[in-house]
Amino acid sequence: MKTNTKKSFRASLLLSALMCLTLMVSACGSGGQTAEPEGSTGQDAAKETKADASKSPVKINVGYIPDLNGAAPIVVADEKGFFKDAGLNVNAVKFLSGPPEFQAMASGDLDIAYIGPGATFLAAQGQGKIIALASLGFGDMVYATKKSGIQEWKDLKGKTIGVPKGTSGEMILNLGLEKGGLKPSDVNIVNIDVAGAVSAFVANKVDAVAIWSPYTKEIEKQLGTENIVKLGDNRTFYPDYVFPASWVVNPKFLEEKPEVVQQFLEAWVKANDYKIKNVDETISLTSKYTQVPEDSLKEQYETMEWIESSKIAGYMKDGTSVKWFENLEKMFVTNGKMAEVVPGDKFIATEPFVKAQEAAGGN
């Protein structure tokens, strides 16, 4: 009996040792991970991790111009959380005019940007795709100094004019020259950025400038309206010519990441309709962001017509936007910036905006 007891005890010890060894091997095989929750599998955990990663905001680089038209949608979309809701992390990059934005897109440093009417020809040449209408502008003007003796368009002959080339300011200037029976070669045009144009005009280094609000308001404040001659603005040529500002996307970015463009537009639609309904708040937010005084932005607001998203979608659907931009192209052809008019549907992507407006609850 004693012998049997010893054998039974040894067998029990051996069994216990084997069980411990089995547990140790099992722990090593699991990589030291803790047990998964009841009902969970390794595959489920992997799916959850992937889903969390997909919720991370997508970073995009967006170009804006520091005025009410070019900055407000970005400011409102960020402030009201529309970008966040759309799953975007927007890096806003400041520019003073459209052409440098297209250069940044060409180098891959910019994905989406706001442009004025004057830079539309670059989109028509294939450097960008128009994805939204921002507004109709009436704030581009040609000012002459009182000292220059210029009173009307024809008096610009032989005079020095400061203008940022490739902008809506240049478009108004060219229309004015034509109205006065002149050609661009009849005047001395100095290509200068908008801030430089203001400084040069105030310092009497140029006879005239072709720029836009709110920079024109800065000139008026520094010189006084009594020392300035206003030759004309967009309304001088309306309705024969309509000047739509727009938002454009890098064609490569649209091709590779259409879903991100869609996300941006859905946020943009919400911001666009919000700013139209809350103008004073929008002006205040934009002023803080751009450091442009509220009074200047309010004056700029008076020189533009914002368009509700539902109307923009309608203009995209019925071909109105195509007609507007093709009409601008005719001016570019006349002025030698383009060889021929490119069909609007080649550089205007209407479908993304229509879908975004519908997704935002539009008709």
pLDDT in tens, 126-158: 999 999 999 998 989 999 999 999 999 999 999
Could you tell me which residues are beta bridge partners of residue 245?
135
User: What's the one-letter identity of residue 331?
Assistant: M
Q: How far apart are CA 310 and CA 73, in angstroms?
A: 16
CB under 8 Å to 88, separation ≥6 — which residues? 57, 58, 59, 60, 260, 263, 264, 267
pLDDT score, position 363: 53
Assigned fold of 140-237: D-Maltodextrin-Binding Protein; domain 2 (3.40.190)
Nearest C-alpha neighbor of 244 from the set 326, 173, 166: 326
How many other CB atoms are found less than 10 A from the CB of residue 56?
9
Could you tell me which residues are beta bridge partners of residue 143?
209, 230
* CATH classification for the domain delimited by 56-136+242-359, as one of 3.90.45.10, 3.30.160.20, 1.10.10.10, 3.40.190.10: 3.40.190.10
pLDDT in tens, 37-65: 333 334 444 444 333 445 799 999 999 99
Q: How far apart are CA 159 and CA 163, in angstroms?
A: 13
Q: How far apart are CA 251 and CA 108, in angstroms?
A: 10
Nearest C-alpha neighbor of 309 from the set 77, 80, 124: 77
Confidence of residue 21 (pLDDT cuts 50, 70, 90): very low
Nearest C-alpha neighbor of 274 from the set 79, 30, 47: 79
Residues of the chain with CATH 3.40.190.10: 56-136+242-359, 140-237
pLDDT in tens, 281-323: 999 999 999 999 999 899 889 989 999 999 999 999 999 999 9
CB under 8 Å to 320, separation ≥6 — which residues? 314
297 neighbors 287 (Cβ within 8 angstroms): yes
Nearest C-alpha neighbor of 242 from the set 67, 107, 117: 117
Confidence of residue 202 (pLDDT cuts 50, 70, 90): very high
102 neighbors 122 (Cβ within 8 angstroms): yes
Helix (H, G, I), strand (E, B) or coil at 133: strand
Strand 208-212 vs strand 160-163: parallel, antiparallel, or unpaired? parallel
Q: Encoding tokens for residue 91?
A: 């890096």
pLDDT score, position 14: 41
pLDDT score, position 241: 87
